[in-house]
Amino acid sequence: MTDTVLQPDTQEIVVDEVFPHAPETIWKTLTTAELMGRWLMMPAGFEPIEGKRFTYQTTPAGDWDGTIHCQVLEVKPNERLTYAWKGGHAGNTGYGSPLDTVVTFILSRAGNGTRLRLVHSGFVLPKNETAYRKMGEGWKKVVKNIGALAGGED
């Protein structure tokens, strides 16, 4: 078996921005259901406790009812919050297709504010840059989108 450099690659989305607010304030927006609902989505059954399962409700697609199943994996108050993010259905392509990913929020002090880094990881893509290059414009657009996310400050 030749199995060199052919591991499937998991891609991640990174959004990294500095906010002029204390880490404690941002932590509240990440871990208080009512506040989460005001910027992200209203969770059902969320508590910032490791192992806790909760859900988000999004737009259904095909055989998927739009439920995102999450489980808290790591809680370090004011520093790091990680949860599993699973959803989708095998019958869908594009939006609504199966997803088995992990969302991590990392907080660190930055001057008088806080750097918040979101990493959404576990998007499985074949490790094959040539394939992406050959995908032409579509792929380039995506890469540009993802590239723009790193520190993308409007």
Of 61-100, binders to other proteins (CB under 8 A) are 88, 90-95, 97-99
Of 95-114, binders to other proteins (CB under 8 A) are 95, 97-99
The first and second tokens of residue 89, run together, are 């259905």
Alpha-carbon distance of 136 to 8, in angstroms, equals 21
Position among 26, 27, 42, 110 found at the interface with other proteins (CB under 8 A): 26
Instruction: Extract the runs of DSSP E, i.e. beta strands, from the chain.
Output: 9-19, 53-57, 67-76, 80-87, 99-110, 113-125
Q: Would you give the DSSP letter of residue 136? A: T
Alpha-carbon distance of 97 to 144, in angstroms, equals 22
Position among 45, 65, 77, 131 found at the interface with other proteins (CB under 8 A): 131
40 lies in the site for other proteins, by CB under 8 A: yes
Alpha-carbon distance of 29 to 105, in angstroms, equals 11
- Interface contacts to other proteins, rule CB under 8 A: 1-3, 6, 8, 11, 13, 15, 17, 19, 21-22, 25-26, 29, 35, 38-40, 88, 90-95, 97-99, 116, 118, 120, 123-126, 128, 130-132, 134-136, 138-139, 141-142, 145-146, 148-149, 152, 154
